[in-house]
Structures are given as C-alpha cells and as structure tokens.
Structure 1
Amino acid sequence: MNLRLKNYFMVFPKNWLGLIFLLLFMGIINVMRTPRDNDVKLKRTALEWSLATLTATLILWGAFDSEGQFQTINQTEWIVSPTLNFQWGPIFLAVDGISLFFLILTALLIPICILISWNSIKYLLKEFLLCLLFLEVLLMGVFSALDLLLFYILFEGILIPMFLLIGIWGSREEKVRASYYFFFYTFIGSVFMLLGIFQLYSCTGTTDYQTLLNIKLPTSTQKWIFAGFFLSLAVKIPQIPFHIWLPQAHVEAPVSGSVILAGILLKLGGYGFLRFSWPILPAASEYFAPLIITLSIIAIIYGSLTTCRQVDFKRLIAYSSVAHMGLVTLGLFTHTIEGLVAAVFMMLAHGLVSSALFIAVTYLYERHHTRLIKYYRGVTITMPIFAIIMLVLTLTNMGIPLSCNFVAEFFSLLAAFEYNFGIGVLAASGMVWSAAYSLYLYNRICFGGASNYLLFARDLNRREVLAISPLIILILFLGILPSIIIDPVKNAIIFNPGGA
C-alpha cells in the first residue's frame, strides 16, 4: 500500500466514527418527527437508521488500522472553570482493537431488537424505539470514551432507558419491581466508582485515560480507588454476590431488553476492568486478583448449579450468564495475554449466544404464553426450523468445537491452568455443568411426544428467522476464523503500563 493511500485510511476511521453518532442522532430526530399513529412507518424508520449505523460501523472496521491502537476522532474542551481551578478536557473519543468490536456488537443488536419486537410492542411504540436509539448512542459513547468522567456519565446514563424498557414494556406484573432492582443495584454501586474518579483527579489533576496510563500512583491509593471501581463494575457484570438483580430483570424485561442486557450491558463491567482498572491501577489489580479469581470460580460453579435447577427457561438462561461472566473475570485477573484475549472473546461470544437464546425462547413464549419448561415437549414435531436453530444454540452454549464459545472457553481454561492447576480444574468443571443444563433444556423442550398443554403452533416466519440468522452466522464464523478478533485485541492490550 503506497504512503498516500495508507495515510487516507489512517484518518478514515475518524470520519466514520463521527458519522456513526451523526446517523444515530438523525435517526432519533426522524423517529420523533414520524406521526405516532403510523406504526409501520415508525418501525421502518428506526430500523433503516439503525441499519445505516450498522453499515457505518462495519465500514469503520474495514478501514481500521490493523495495529489496533487508539484512533482519535474528537478533542473538545468541555468545562473550564478558572475560579474553581477545574478543567475537564480535552475530551477524547477513540476506538482501538478492543472497543471496535463492542461498537459492532451494539450496532448489530439494536436493529435485531427492533425486528424481534416488531409485533410484540402494543403501546407507546414511538417512545420504545426512541429508548432503543438513545440507548445505542450512550453505548457507543461508553465504548469510545477515553475520559473517566465522561465514561461514568454515559455509564450511568444507560440506566435511564433500560429502567424505562423494563418498567414500561416488561411482560409480567413484577416488571416495575424488577426495574427498580436493576436501577438501584447498579446506581448505588456506581457511586463508589464516582468516588474513585474523584480520588484519581485529586491525586493526578486529570481524568484523561492516556495521561493516567503514564502516572504511577502509590499502592495504598491504588487499592482504595480499585475497590470503588470494583464495587461498581462487579454489579454490572454481575459478579457474585452482586448478581441478585440480574435474573429478576431478565425475566420481567421484554425480549429486546433481555437481548440488550445479556448482549451488551453485562459487558460494561468487564470492559471497565480491562480498559481502566488494570492499566491504571496495576498494583491494586494484582493485589486483589486472588480474591476476584476466587469469586469467579464461585460464580462458575454456583451459577452452573443454580442454572440446573431452574424451571423458567428465561431465568435459566439468565443464571447461565452468571457462570459465563465468571469466566470473563477469571481470564481478566490472571493477567496473561491468553486470559485477556479470552475475556474479550468470551464477552463477544456470550453477547451473540445468550442474545440468540433469549430470542429463541421468546419465540416459544409468544406462541404458548408460558415460560415454564415442564409444559413443553415435542416442539420438534410442529416447529422443525425452530428445533434446528435451538440445537445449534444449545451446542454452542456447551462450547462445542467450531463455535465461538469453544474458542473463548479454551483460552479461558488455558489462562486458568497457567495461573494455577487447581483453579483450572475448578473452572473446567463449569463446562460439564454447562452441558448438563443446556442438554436438559433442549431435550425437555424439543424431544418426546407432543405436550398435552400446548396447542399446535406454526413454525418460525421469515421475519423471525431473519432476526436471529445474523447471530447464528457470526457464532459459527467466529468459531471457524477467530483470528479476525484475536489479532486486533492482542495488539490493543496494554502491558506494563506506566503505573506498573
């Protein structure tokens, strides 16, 4: 590639990341201007603009520098107060080999959420679509922010549209209680992160990420700041014992809310640990690593055992998320290249597989209006296309070879055994339990004679297959060719930061 063309591509991602935010705001404006009584036009408008955003995000990926380093798009002086001796800025928005794939995951899941909610949202449709698009703006900002204070503001801003999604468009009577569970658990935890950011600013005079990488803080200070970050991010993952809000929120949320929760929001905790806690606070991260790894092992085993005894298939998938996210924190805090790559890959794989599982079981719920597994049997007889899709997702959730979950779990266990043999054995037991509850769910729903409790149900229609197909294709594609994610992530991971 000649120098002129290479320089063009070096600035190309900057333009496209800015265009992503422009497209999202234009989509919000167009949805707001669309008449409320025209449901079809509202849905088509939101879908078209979300697909335009996805297209821009994919072009950003195609133009991205393969070295995986930060590529900045914006630098802005936000708040300057000479009287208070406080300056917030310049603010950087950037992408690297880690945040890029979370942007793509976000841009992919939002149009899928619109498709799977096409017929299920019966009231306040305009507000529902605006919540989804506004949520996408906040998520894009979270994954591209290089300032801790901006990250925190966007991190907290996500609570508002998610609170509304669960509380207004939830599917059962306890939806308001579930929305408050979600809001207060995550909000109270995040207060400790804010205190940590204040302490960082007090010690360094800046909240800029790239500047903080080159500042060495005293170990005792690092420990206190890390504790604040941990309490906030552990709730978001969620890490045991901060996971109580998750099953309730998943069960009561509409299908789009469950997809966003499982596919993106649970990743904010892992992303925060990877992006901020370890590079900026390396000594504290090493100090707390044994504790967090112990909690991760408990999450894997306890989460798997609890999953095995669930009778509600949506709650079953929610508890399986606790076990899978335990593998994420386990990989992160081994502080090895394999573990860090495994954590990112597991978050992306879980975002695809868990989202697809929630969509699949919602297809059943929309037809039979029950989530209790005991009422299902012999679905293969009446819904063969659904049974094939569910089989692929079940095998993927077990970590079968040639699936993205296999790659993620392989690297996670490799890092665990490198850290400690006993830890590796305990982590590997989670794969056995994963196979147990995955096979139980599929066998109970799809095999056997037709259930007497269920009426004849039509198979999946074209819209339903179209909504879930991109996830299945990516699940298999990333299992066959994982290097397209591993290489940029590996290049972007920061080892031996200035604080080390």
Structure 2
Amino acid sequence: MLAQNPFVELPGELPLLTIVTFLPAIGAALIALMPKESQKAIFGTGIFVSLLTFVISIGVWRAFDDVVGFQMVDRAEWAPGGIGYALGVDGISILIVMLTTFIIPIALWSATKAIEHRVKEFVIAVLVLETAMIGALLAIDLFLYYVFWEAMLIPMYLLIGIWGGKNRLYATTKFFIYTMAGSVLMLVAMVYVYLKGGGVSSALVDVANTTFTFTRDAPWKSEQTWLFLAFALAFAIKVPLFPLHTWLPDAHTEAPTAGSVILAAIMLKVGTYGFLRFAFPLFPSAAGYFSPLFLVLAVIGIVYGAFCAYNQTDVKKLVA
C-alpha cells in the first residue's frame, strides 16, 4: 500500500520545460526544409540547435529550487478522462536532462566526419531522438511518458539500421523486439493503473494516490506484484539488466559512433530513471519484496560483464 503521495507539483511562470523539450524537434523540422546538398549547413544547424537546447537547460537548472516536488510544471488537457500534457522537473530528472543536452551536440559534432550519406536524415533523427529522451525524462503523465518512451525507439532504430555496420539489420531487429516486448507490458500496466484510479486522471500526482493490493504471504495474488513486474521488465530491458542484455552488444557494435555515444550516455540511463520515477514509488511494497532478486541479477551482470570485457578487443563491445 502507498502510505503517502511522494509527488507534489509546483507550476512555472514560463514554459521552459516545453521549450527545452521541443526545441530539437523544431530544429529537425527546419532542417527538413533545407536542401540535402547543404551538408555543412545541416550539421551546423543541428549543432547550433542542440547547443541552444543545452543553454536553455542550464536556465532550467538555475531556476530549479532544491525543494520537494515537480517544479516549473507545464500542464494542459488534451484528451477526455484526464489524459493530459504534463511536464515537470525534480532532483532526479534535472541532472539527466542536462546530461542529455550536453551529450547531443558532442555526438553531432563527432559525426561531421563520419557520416557522409543521408546527412539530412541523420541530423533529423538525432534531434527527434533528443526531444523524445528529454520528454521521457520530464513527462509526469503516464500516457505522455509512454508516447515519449516509444518515440525514442524509432530514431534509434533508424540510426542503427541506416548508418550502422554490416550486421545492422540483425541488431535493429533484436533491439526492436526486446524493446517492444517490454513496452507492451508496460502499456497494459499503465492502462490498469489509470482505470483502477477511476479513469479520471493519468497524471502521476493523481495515480500515486491509488492503492494497489500487496500481501507478502501471497505476492503472486497481489496487484502490485504484476504491475511492478510489468514496469520493471520494460525498464530492465532498457538498462539493460542481466539476462535481458543480449541486444546491447549488437546494438553498440553496429551503431554509428554518435548513436553508440547516445545509447551509452543517455538511453540506458532512461531505464534506470524509469525505476526511480515509476516502478519504485508507485509499487513500493512489491519493489521491496523483489529488490533482492534485482540486486542478485545486477551483481551477476557486473561479474559477467567484467569477464566478457577482460579479453574484449572491440572498443564498442567493451563499452557495451
């Protein structure tokens, strides 16, 4: 049972979070209008937009106050039943957002020499991916989060599938299947959480007030168990947690260097963030019950990864 709602919302005066989220997508739209032959201008525009996004994220950080709750909340209703647009930042998300906006211009700059074909599409994919990642980190509505979560899949799939190595089709297929399997279960769990709350709001601050059953003597008959595992599986695949990690070495190896950087520096952390934002606070009893299992899997993953890395000569596989 959830004894206390851990989420509080503090509205902002300016839509800073909306700006920092969608500025890269706006940049991608502008680049879509540019002639594909202007490769230097395309890269320059992409790097400029990503740097501007980083500067705005610094403004978000400076405006951030070290208090409990989501700050600078941007909220709007966009569908019946309390399904809305809601962005908010707190102490967990602010640093990962800044990391994201810091890494993207570096990744684009590193690609200026490496990417020579379909440059326009490449830069657009990276900027759309940035919007999706920032949105996933700032979304405080269940269904809005899911939209951004799924939106991350498409540009990364394209980055690996179009600009990847010789085995890129195998890597992208594996990446897609693993990610979608977890995402479908998480969506089912989200719908259940929403309906259990009366179907009146999908905002995180509201669904956190919903009580889900959990009994330690009969965990498999408890709501929290199945809901937690549905969320946890999606996040464990993204982290990735042993033994759900097998998609990662292939994705890292086949991805272009910029894609590999984004994957390692940001996307994998979005999975860990998901545990902290949704799985643990919404289903605390189940999280506590299954924590020994996840700790054991994490330790196995560390030891297994160390042995695999010991004789590894491929730098990308070493990172994976």
TM-score, normalised relative to structure 2 = 0.90
Alpha carbons of structure 1 residues 237 and 204: separation in structure 2 relative to 1, 3 Å: same
Q: Does 1:102 align with 2:104?
A: no
**Deviations along 1:158-182, whole A, 9 cap, x unmatched?**
1110000001001x21011111111
2:176 counterpart (167, 174, 183): 183
Please name the residue that 1:212 is paired with: 207
Structure 1: distance between partners of 2:96 and 2:75 = 22
Structure 2: distance between partners of 1:200 and 1:20 = 29
Q: Report the identity percentage.
A: 39
Structure 2: distance between partners of 1:11 and 1:152 = 23
**Alpha-carbon distance, 1:213 to partner:** 2.1
Map 1:150-161 → 2, pairs under 5 A? 150-161=144-155
Structure 2: distance between partners of 1:287 and 1:267 = 23
Please name the residue that 1:165 is paired with: 159
**Deviations along 1:285-342, whole A, 9 cap, x unmatched?**
0111111111111111111112112232221121xxxxxxxxxxxxxxxxxxxxxxxx
**Is this contact kept in 1: 2:241–2:298, CA < 8 A?**
yes
Larger Rg belongs to: 1
Please name the residue that 1:290 is paired with: 292
Map 1:360-399 → 2, pairs under 5 A? none
Structure 2: distance between partners of 1:34 and 1:195 = 40
2:309 counterpart (307, 310, 317): 307
Q: Secondary structure at the match of 1:91?
A: strand
Amino acid of the residue matched to residue 45 of structure 1? T
Please name the residue that 1:42 is paired with: 42
Please name the residue that 1:274 is paired with: 276
Please name the residue that 1:91 is paired with: 85
Structure 1: distance between partners of 2:203 and 2:248 = 32
Q: Secondary structure at the match of 2:313?
A: coil
Q: Secondary structure at the match of 1:77?
A: strand
Moved over 3 A (4+): none
Structure 2: distance between partners of 1:158 and 1:239 = 19
**Is this contact kept in 2: 1:237–1:268, CA < 8 A?**
yes
**Is this contact kept in 2: 1:72–1:92, CA < 8 A?**
no
**Alpha-carbon distance, 1:69 to partner:** 2.7
Q: Secondary structure at the match of 1:117?
A: helix
**Is this contact kept in 2: 1:186–1:236, CA < 8 A?**
yes
Alpha carbons of structure 1 residues 68 and 58: separation in structure 2 relative to 1, 3 Å: farther
**Alpha-carbon distance, 1:131 to partner:** 0.2
**Is this contact kept in 1: 2:194–2:207, CA < 8 A?**
no
1:195 counterpart (188, 191, 208): 188
Please name the residue that 2:24 is paired with: 24
**Alpha-carbon distance, 1:22 to partner:** 4.8
Structure 1: distance between partners of 2:137 and 2:243 = 26
Structure 2: distance between partners of 1:25 and 1:306 = 38
1:127 counterpart (121, 128, 137): 121
Structure 2: distance between partners of 1:110 and 1:209 = 28
Alpha carbons of structure 1 residues 116 and 68: separation in structure 2 relative to 1, 3 Å: farther
Please name the residue that 1:7 is paired with: none
Amino acid of the residue matched to residue 70 of structure 1? F
Please name the residue that 1:15 is paired with: 15
TM-score, normalised relative to structure 1 = 0.58
Q: Does 1:59 align with 2:54?
A: no
Amino acid of the residue matched to residue 63 of structure 1? A
Segment drifting more, 251-260 vs 26-35: 26-35
**Alpha-carbon distance, 1:68 to partner:** 5.1
Structure 1: distance between partners of 2:132 and 2:262 = 13
**Is this contact kept in 2: 1:21–1:137, CA < 8 A?**
yes
Please name the residue that 1:488 is paired with: none
**Alpha-carbon distance, 1:274 to partner:** 0.3
**Is this contact kept in 2: 1:31–1:42, CA < 8 A?**
yes
Structure 1: distance between partners of 2:123 and 2:77 = 32
How many residue pairs get aligned? The number is 302
**Deviations along 1:445-498, whole A, 9 cap, x unmatched?**
xxxxxxxxxxxxxxxxxxxxxxxxxxxxxxxxxxxxxxxxxxxxxxxxxxxxxx
**Deviations along 1:25-81, whole A, 9 cap, x unmatched?**
43123212222111111111111111111101111111111225311432211211x
Structure 2: distance between partners of 1:256 and 1:233 = 23
Q: Secondary structure at the match of 1:74?
A: strand
**Is this contact kept in 2: 1:16–1:60, CA < 8 A?**
yes
Q: Secondary structure at the match of 1:122?
A: coil
**Alpha-carbon distance, 1:202 to partner:** 2.6
**Is this contact kept in 1: 2:160–2:168, CA < 8 A?**
yes
Amino acid of the residue matched to residue 210 of structure 1? V
Structure 1: distance between partners of 2:16 and 2:294 = 38
Alpha carbons of structure 1 residues 212 and 11: separation in structure 2 relative to 1, 3 Å: closer
Amino acid of the residue matched to residue 209 of structure 1? L
**Alpha-carbon distance, 1:17 to partner:** 1.9
